[in-house]
Amino acid sequence: MRTVDEHLATVLAGIRELPPIEQRLLDAHGCTLCEDVVANLDLPAFDNAAMDGYAVHRADVIGARPNRPVVLPVVGDVPAEEGPVQVLPAGLAMRIMTGAPIPSGADTVIPVEWTDGGIAKVAIQREPGPNTFIRRRGEDVRAGEPIAWAGTRLDARKVAVLAALGREAVVVRPRPRVVVLSTGSELREPGQPLSEGTIYDANSFALAAAVREAGGIPYRVGVVPDDEQRFLRVLEEQLVRADLVITSGGVSVGAYDTVKLALQHLGTVEFTKVAMQPGMPQGFGVIGDDETPIFTLPGNPVSAFVSFHVFVLPALRKMMGVTPYVRPTVRATTTAGWRSSVGRRQYARMAYTVAPDGSALVRPVSGAGSHLVTGLGRANALAIVPEDVGEVPAGATLEVMLLDP
Ligand SMILES: Nc1nc2c(c(=O)[nH]1)N[C@H]1C(S)=C(S)[C@@H](COP(=O)(O)OP(=O)(O)OC[C@H]3O[C@@H](n4cnc5c(N)ncnc54)[C@H](O)[C@@H]3O)O[C@H]1N2
Ligand code: MOO
């Protein structure tokens, strides 16, 4: 039997980062930059008003008081719109809007609240400080300054900056396109009636949702029955759009373990037992002309889901250039104990919380059975019980994988 770490190393060695492509800004959201981005213009791009009010020469309004206002003729309006910079001679004012370019000659904006709001002339009731309410060209960033380095994941905040700089597209690693299929003649699509011996397909939905949460693009293929030829045909059809394939079911030692039988003589897929619970039977390799990586996960729903988090998620992160490939774990103290099997690393379903005093706690929310899917629904974390531990006492501190994206 392989250890989890050995299998993870084999998987990561078989996965390549996807080649960079240019993506439109919103499509690049969530992806990793493959270029250093430098500001291509100054921000603000020109001196502009920070308040709605009046552009003036400050020297004209020194000494303005509520009981001794300075009155200036208003010679025009400066809206925030396209147009040449206006000129403001001394002794006059212009009505100006937030974001509008400061007329040449003006050095101050008086907020409308400090005035009588006049249109032909304005009474200014307060003396401004120097450079008041002007946002200067380049005070945010100057053209040529770095904005983001290759390797940065584009979140909404970085998208805001790139859009403000007028970037239409950026070079990123694309989201992996992941084909997800479930195998098993007992499986039915949700919405279909169940007959004796049949169950609903949970895995292709769970895995497709997990792919999406990881930043990939899932293509959920319906259920494929236990028939080698059908399975191979579907796989061949799907390969054209796949950067990665995930199957579930049919990999243990049953007489109808289709995936294992079908892939035995195709590609490089290696079927192994990994010393973990759940998730013991695993398969990984590449198939097709493009050497597309494929994970064949075990069929039990919790086994498939845990396998995704332990092996597939790091692979997706590597394809997307997200580091570290393995998401860091956190440490938490368990409020209750349970048993684990020595020789296998256990991933136990937990509710993770942070107590008012800041301490991280976990509480078991499920038995260990890999068919107990509703226990998975209650969990937001997996506690990792080392291979040599047979009993976890209440109060023990463990490494914990958080499941929320
Ligand atoms: N004799 C042995 N039997 C089993 C072993 C073993 O070592 N020796 N390993 C067990 C372990 S551990 C696991 S995990 C499973 C893995 O089996 P398969 O990957 O071949 O999966 P199936 O047999 O197809 O299904 C297992 C179980 O899960 C249900 N299932 C499958 N697909 C779905 C789905 N899409 N949605 C919901 N439920 C699904 C299926 O009906 C079975 O109940 O093998 C053990 N057996
Ligand atoms: O190893 Mo299986 O995945 O426990 O049920």
Are residues 151 and 72 part of one domain? no
Residue nearest to atom 10 of ligand 1 (CA): 252
Choose one of 252, 273, 344, 373 to mutate for the ligand 1 pocket test, by most ligand atoms within 8 angstroms of C-beta.
252
Give the domain range for residue 125: 48-135
Q: Which listed ligand is nearest to 188 at the C-alpha?
A: 1
**How confident is the model over 141-172, as pLDDT tens digits?**
999 999 999 999 999 999 999 999 999 999 99
Residue 157: predicted pLDDT: 97
Per-residue pLDDT tens digits for 313-345: 999 999 999 999 999 999 999 999 999 999 999
Q: Give the list of residues 6+ apart from residue 184 with CB closer than 8 angstroms, or none.
A: 201, 223, 225, 226, 249, 250, 299
pLDDT of residue 257: 85
Residue 140 lies in a domain: no
Q: Which tokens belong to 236? A: 């061949």
Strands 381-385 vs 397-402: parallel, antiparallel or unpaired: antiparallel
Could you give the number of structural domains in the chain? Answer: 4
pLDDT at 101: 97
Which residue positions in the chain have pLDDT lower than 70?
none
CB contact set of 310 (below 8 Å; sequence gap of 6+): 4, 8, 276, 279, 347, 401
Give nearest CA residue, ligand 1 atom 28: 300
Is the beta carbon of 298 within 6 A of some atom in ligand 2?
yes
pLDDT on residue 131: 83
**Which CATH number goes with the domain that contains 163?**
3.90.105.10
Same domain for 218 and 279: yes
- Choose the residue to mutate in 248, 252, 303 for probing ligand 2, maximizing ligand atoms within 8 Å of C-beta: 303
Residues 151 and 124 in one domain: no
* Residues whose CB falls within 8 Å of the CB of residue 193, separated by 6 or more in sequence, listed in order: none
Ligand 1 atom nearest residue 279's Cα: 14
> pLDDT value at position 264?
85
CA angle 275, 263, 260 (to 5 degrees): 45
Amino acid at 368: A
385 and 273 in a common domain = no
Do residues 131 and 203 share a domain? no
**Spatial strand order in the sheet of 121-124:** 108-111, 53-56, 93-96, 70-78, 121-124
Which helix (DSSP H) or strand (DSSP E) does residue 165 occupy? none
Q: Using a 6 Å cutoff on CB, does residue 48 contact ligand 2?
A: no
How far, in Å, from the CA of 213 to the mean position of ligand 1?
25
Q: Which atom of ligand 2 is nearest to the CA of 276?
A: 1
End-to-end alpha carbon distance in the chain: 31
**pLDDT number for residue 253:** 80
Q: Which residue has the tokens 């120097």?
A: 130
Does the interface predicted TM-score (ipTM) exceed 0.85? yes
Asked if 217 and 249 sit in the same domain, the reply is: yes
Please state whether 266 falls in left (phi above 0), alpha (psi between -120 and 50) or beta.
beta
248 lines ligand 2 (CB under 6 A): no
pLDDT of residue 378: 97
Q: Identify the bridge partners of residue 399 per DSSP, sorted by sequence position.
A: 331, 384
Q: What is the pLDDT of residue 266?
A: 82
Question: How do strand 292-297 and strand 281-287 relate by DSSP bridges?
Answer: antiparallel
Residues 13 and 77 both lie in one domain: no
Is the distance from CB of 340 to CB of 277 less than 8 angstroms?
yes
Same domain for 77 and 30: no
Q: Which atom of ligand 1 is nearest to the CA of 297?
A: 19
pLDDT on residue 222:
82
Map residue 402 onto helix, strand or coil: strand
Residue 334 placed within a domain: yes
> Residue 219 maps to which CATH number?
3.40.980.10
CA of 279 to the centre of ligand 1 (A): 10
- For the CA of 303, the nearest atom of ligand 1: 14
For residues 8 and 82, membership in a common domain is answered with: no
Query: For residue 37, what are its two tokens?
Result: 């981005």
Question: 289, 243 in Cβ contact below 8 A?
Answer: no
Report the residue among 253, 271, 296, 300 best suited for mutation to probe ligand 2: largest number of ligand atoms under 8 A from its CB: 300
Q: Is residue 325 part of a domain?
A: no
Nearest CA, atom 4, ligand 2: 278
